[in-house]
Amino acid sequence: MPLRKKMEPKTVNNNFKSEEYFINMGPQHPATHGVLRLLLTIDGEIIKKVEPDLGYIHRSIEKMCERDSYQQIVHLTDRMDYLSSHINNEAVCLTVENALQLEVPERVKVIRTIIGELTRIASHCLWWGVMGMDVGALTTYFYGFRDREMINDIFEETCGARLTMNYNIPGGVMYDIHPNFIQRTKDFVKHFKTKIPEYDRLLTGNVIFQKRMKGVGILSKEDAISFGASGPVGRGSGYSCDVRKHHPYSALDKVTFNESLKTAGDSLARYEVRIMEMWESLSIIEQLIDNIPEGDYKVATNAVIKLPKGEYYQKVETARGELGVYMVSTGTKNPYRVKFRSPGLSNISLLNHIAVGGKIGDLVATMATLDIVVPDIDR
Amino acid sequence: MSYFSNIYKGVKTLLTGMSVTGKVFLNSRKGSITQQYPDNRETLKMFDRFRGEVVMPHDENNEHRCTGCQKCEIACPNGSIEIIWDRKVNPETGKKKKEIDQHIYHLGLCTMCGLCIEACPTDAIVWAQNYENSVFDRSHLTKVLNQPGSKLMDGVED
Amino acid sequence: MNISLSITKTIHEWLFSIMSETAASITEMILIATVYLAVFAVFGLYLVLLERKVAAWFQLRLGPNRVGFKGLFQTMADALKLVSKELTGTVKADKFLYNLAPYFVIVSALMALAVFPFTQEFQAFDINIGIFFLIAISSIGVIGILMGGWASNNKFALIGAMRSGVQTISYELSVGLSLLTMVLITGSLQLSEIVEVQKSGWLIIQGHIPAIIAFMVYMIAGTAETNRAPFDMVEAESELGAGFHTEYSGMKFAYFFLAEFINMFIIAAIATTIFFGAWLSPFGITESIPWLGVFWFLGKTLVIVFLMMWFRWTFPRLRVDQLLTLEWKYLLPINLVNIVIMAFVVWQNLIIQL
């Protein structure tokens, strides 16, 4: 974390060699996907140093969690990684349910998993669109959004919201799935199966794109592990870190799917991992959508939930990687401390490691493959 | 020789990409994915579970179902709901009963999480499906949900 | 001065009858310049509208459709807005160069229009080194971009301007060489004579294989010359924000914007003139109606403009070093070999003549 003091021009200039100069990328910059500020030290076009300056949208969600009851915490996690809000909600609910040793119905588990995978696809759709934009192919954005819109409609019909859904509650889900849910999801799966090959034809196969991505921003497996990379970033380096595979939660132990792994560790590998994940998510949805068991959609909990005294940890795989929820309870109706281990923070810490030596264009492309969501980093 | 095969493969991938966008271009007459928003207000229909804002339905006798139990106020994470209530003597039974004076809802604070509606034991508040919530003055976002002169529906107990 | 459509001829004679020869020439030049300026400013605006519409159709959108009938006045309204906007600037900018740059860009873009043969004998300025003039003029615009980027005292603008310099210097080589390939067939640099040669078949047909290669090279290099995607290193909005025109606002920004589109038109118009027979109609179907030449010229040009838009809305951007690799390792060697092939074709008289 860079110190504010360091950024004053006088101190900075003394350390610089004559050829290097300093450039301030962000907090308002099209490639930083929000209010992330990067302090770049550049020699011509070549990046010498990248210092991410975080905290521009820090909202102290962890502190707010200490104020709120366990039901109320859930809606705050929507605002962390807003692109996988359902999975964030699920993480908190699973923590609370585990602490209470509450057995949720099978139906809830399946619904949660289906919507979680839909969320993952929606997030990757948006990422794909933005990825294209960051490397200069502006049309991808709209194609990605076209498909994401269908998922958002499914969410809106069932949960009432498109982005910050707050569909999970401790003990189940808020409403039962909408009668149209199954049909719409099937339609989407059918539609999207024709669209991923289109993505590949438009962007993945493109020679310019391949040249931009291949061999750029290489992250070795050792570094991925030591930096705490998770999600597609870690798996692009051959680090098998899929929480869904290693610590299955909800209905994920009932489905068969392959963990998307690539060993190259460059930008292209991270890109391909995400494309593969879309296929895997589709297959998970297909396995579950016809087998939603009958039953209750929630189990009744006390109006005031009090967790037993102790510490609880639950990790889930969001679209960006491993999200850990650590809760300390003293037995009251509020948690004593909540800590979120967000995937974005550890992934952005890689940036200096993998972007140095590249061009400015490489930095932008590499950052896009990290798929950062700034509210997730800052919380 | 790989020099020429590279060129050939490169040009081929470029043409493949152009065929994708070209196909979309040719089909562009069939309509777009965007909506002509202010023009389609008449036809734009939200899903029935859409969370637009919290409202309190009243029946034709100007009666609502809110008993003033304040569960929604407690459930709300942001303090969007404030209930001003009083205990009034029911002239028929002679018993003192909790009755709401004003059910105040701050739309500006609301995050549409739905916990209040989940918490409500009498289904007094529900989601409305309106989607145009912008106003010129912030004070308009503070709403009183129960209509003036309204009273509790008979037979609603918490 | 070779303007002899009936109206222009009348004006020409009238002007020379009422004043001395020098004064009449000057008046005529100013008149023509004004007409061209007015026509192409409006035409440029409509190119912007076309680009936006085409982009929308590629991207499942509708595009501008509010101002006027189906949005036909959208860019007019935009221009009006830009005229009325405040001109902001950086404090430590080099004021003289900063203010000069937009005019430099727009003037060099408009100058090139003078030599195009829009139809038979409708050409403002028919010099015997027409192609040479076009190549020279089209690479002057980069000086304006360099000045703008340097003078605005912004590092992003500076990076953009430097990239532009590198890019234009590299790619004007390919533009020049690919046009030179075609000059081998025509044996003349004068545009009217080049069109004359094409009466026995457009040059892309006459020159067959080497001509098609030259056209492809020209299209790639031409797109790069106009700084458009996939070669928009100069602006590269995901990398540099807005590139060299970051600090420009209002009408000064509009000049840069308009110049980009006029440059695109120029590149397409050169391709039309050299490869596709300028105002000549296919198989001479409308040869009896000379003024239809304008229609054919603009039609062919717009098709090539559309192709450039298609490129822009499909391809990712190249990285700056890949940009140079493409030029120096691929386009330039291909071009040089292509010239030899073309020379052989012309020597052995393997030209296809209809």
Distance CA(B49)–CA(C55), nearest Å, equals 35
Whether omega for the bond prior to residue B38 falls within 30 degrees of 0, making it cis, is no
Spatial contact of B114 and B128, defined as CB atoms under 8 Å apart: no
C272-284 exposure pattern, b = at least 16 Cβ within 10 A, e = fewer? bbbbbbbbbbeee
For helices C21-58 and B2-26, the axis angle rounded to 10 degrees is 80
Contacts C155 to A, Cβ<8 Å = 21, 23
DSSP letter at C122?
E
pLDDT on residue A4:
52
Strand partners, B128: B53
Interface test with A, best of C51, C317, C318, C321 (most A CBs within 10 A): C317
Query: Which is nearest to A270 in space by CA: A377, A192, A373, A354?
Result: A354
Distance of CA A252 to the CA centre of its chain: 18
The answer to whether the CB atoms of A207 and B10 lie below 8 A apart is yes
CA R_g for chain C: 21
User: Quick count: other Cβ atoms within 10 Å of Cβ C38?
Assistant: 10
Mutating which of A166, A167, A268 best tests the B interface, going by the most B Cβ atoms within 10 A? Answer: A166
Domains of chain A: 4-53 (no CATH), 61-378 (1.10.645.10)
Report pLDDT for C5: 54
pLDDT score recorded for residue C353:
74
Q: Would you give the DSSP letter of residue C319?
A: P
In chain C, which residue's Cα lies nearest the Cα of B6? C330
**A208 → closest Cβ in C156, C239, C316:** C316
3-state secondary structure of C63: coil
**Secondary structure element (H or E) that encloses residue B81, with its range:** strand B81-89
Type of residue found at B128: A
| Residue pair C123/C116 in contact by the 8 Å Cβ criterion | yes
Residue A266 near chain C (CB below 8 Å): no
What is the structure's pLDDT at B51? 87
pLDDT at res. A20: 80
Residues of C in contact with A360 (CB under 8 A): 159, 239-240
Closest Cβ–Cβ partner in B7, B18, B33 for C310: B18
Element containing residue C156 per DSSP (H, E): helix C155-186
Q: Would you list which residues of chain A are within 8 Å, Cβ to Cβ, of chain B? A: 68, 71-72, 74-76, 78, 139, 142-143, 145-146, 149, 153, 156-161, 164, 166, 169, 174-175, 178, 198, 201-203, 205-208, 210, 303
Helices (H), chain B: 2-26, 71-75, 115-119
C contacts of B22 (beta carbons < 8 Å): 310
Which residues of A are less than 8 Å from C57 in CB distance? Answer: none
- List per-residue pLDDT tens for chain A, 379 residues long: 555 555 555 555 555 555 788 888 878 777 777 788 888 888 878 888 888 888 888 888 888 888 888 888 888 888 888 888 889 998 999 998 888 888 888 888 898 899 999 999 999 999 998 888 888 888 888 888 888 888 998 988 888 888 888 888 888 888 888 888 889 898 999 989 998 898 888 888 888 888 888 888 888 888 889 988 888 888 888 888 888 888 888 888 888 888 888 888 888 998 989 999 999 999 999 888 888 888 888 888 887 888 888 899 988 988 888 889 999 988 888 889 899 988 888 888 888 888 888 888 888 888 888 888 888 888 8
B153 in helix, strand or coil?
Answer: coil
Contact: A136, C58; criterion CB under 8 Å: no
**% of chain B with per-residue pLDDT over 70:** 99
Q: Is-contact C152 C106, C-beta < 8 A?
A: no
Instruction: Tell me the CATH number of domain B53-152, given options 3.40.1180.10, 3.30.70.3270, 3.40.50.720, 3.20.19.10.
Output: 3.30.70.3270
Which residues from A are below 8 Å from B111, CB to CB?
A: 75, 164
Q: What is the mean pLDDT of each run of 10 residues along chain C (354 residues)?
A: 55 78 81 83 86 87 84 86 84 84 86 79 76 83 85 85 85 87 85 81 80 88 84 78 82 85 87 83 71 82 89 87 87 89 85 74
Among B4, B24, B25, the strongest candidate for a mutation testing the C interface, having the largest count of C CBs within 10 A, is B25
Mean pLDDT of chain B: 83
State mean pLDDT over B34-51.
84
By the 8 A CB rule, do A242 and A262 touch?
Answer: no
DSSP reduced 3-state for B119:
helix
Regarding beta strands A321-329 and A310-318, do their DSSP bridges make them parallel or antiparallel, or are they unpaired? antiparallel
For A213, list phi and psi in degrees, rounded to 5. Answer: -100, -35
Half-sphere exposure of A33 (CA within 13 A, CB side): 28
Alpha carbon distances (Å) from C203 to B38, C185, C209:
52, 8, 11
Q: What is the pLDDT of residue B136?
A: 92
Name the β-bridge partners of B143.
Answer: B105
| pLDDT the model gives residue A18 | 59
In the DSSP assignment, the letter for residue C65 is: -
- Nearest CA among A158, A170, A76 for reference residue A114: A158
Residues of chain B positioned with their CB less than 8 A from the CB of C315: 14, 17
Kindly report, residue by residue over A246-264, the tens digit of the pLDDT: 888 888 888 888 888 888 8
Question: Residue B134: which residues within 8 A CB-CB, separation 6 or more?
Answer: none
- Collapsed DSSP state (helix, strand, coil) of residue B84: strand
Q: Write out chain A in H/E/C secondary structure.
A: CCCHHHHCHHHHHHHCCCCEEEEEECCCCHHHCCCCEEEEEEECCEEEEEEEECCCCCCCHHHHHHHCCHHHHHHHHCCCCHHHHHHHHHHHHHHHHHHHCCCCCHHHHHHHHHHHHHHHHHHHHHHHHHHHHHCCCCHHHHHHHHHHHHHHHHHHHHHCCCCCCCCEECCEECCCCCCCHHHHHHHHHHHHHHHHHHHHHHHHCCHHHHHHHCCCCCCCHHHHHHCCCCHHHHHHCCCCCCHHHHCCCHHHHCCCCCCCCCCCCCHHHHHHHHHHHHHHHHHHHHHHHCCCCCCCCECCCCCCCCCCCEEEEEEEEECCEEEEEEEEECCCCCCCEEEEECHHHHHHCCHHHHHCCCEHHHHHHHHHHHCCCHHHHHC
A242 contact partners, CB below 8 Å, separation of at least 6: A235, A259, A260, A317
Q: What angle do CA C38, C40, C46 make, to 5 degrees?
A: 110
Residues B102-137: tens digit of each pLDDT: 888 888 888 888 888 888 888 888 888 888 888 898
Report the C-alpha gap between C160 and C93 in whole angstroms. Answer: 16
Spatial separation of the C-alpha atoms in residues C108 and C225, rounded to whole Å = 13
Chain B CB contacts of A174 below 8 Å: 114, 118
Cβ–Cβ of C313/A132 closer than 8 Å? Answer: no
